[in-house]
Amino acid sequence: MTSESRPRHQFRTFLIRGGILLAVTSGAYLLAGIAGIAPITLETLGWNNIRIVSGFTILGCLMAAIGYGDE
């Protein structure tokens, strides 16, 4: 059996690139916050809360996984 490669839809490419960019950016901010370089809080709810930043990293991973699909 031979499998023919079909071109990827533009939305899937957007999901892959956007997801990887979001994961790398928020992951770098998370590491910078843990190292004390960027402001990050553990107790109060804010845009720089560690749970929110970690959630964006997970969201980026999920976006990339959905974009790749069965590849």
Over residues 35-46, the pLDDT tens digits come to 989 888 777 777
DSSP 41: B
pLDDT at residue 1, as a whole number: 45
Number of domains in the chain: 1
Query: 48 in a domain, yes or no?
Result: no
Query: 25 in a domain, yes or no?
Result: yes
Query: 18 in a domain, yes or no?
Result: yes
Structural domain range at position 17 = 9-42
CA dist 38 to 3, 23, 46, 51, Å? 48, 17, 14, 15
DSSP 49: B
Q: pLDDT higher for 42 or 32?
A: 32
- Do 48 and 38 contact (CB within 8 A), yes or no? yes
Joined together, the tokens standing for residue 3 give 């499998």
pLDDT at residue 20, as a whole number: 95
Query: 23 in a domain, yes or no?
Result: yes
pLDDT at residue 4, as a whole number: 62
Query: 62 in a domain, yes or no?
Result: no
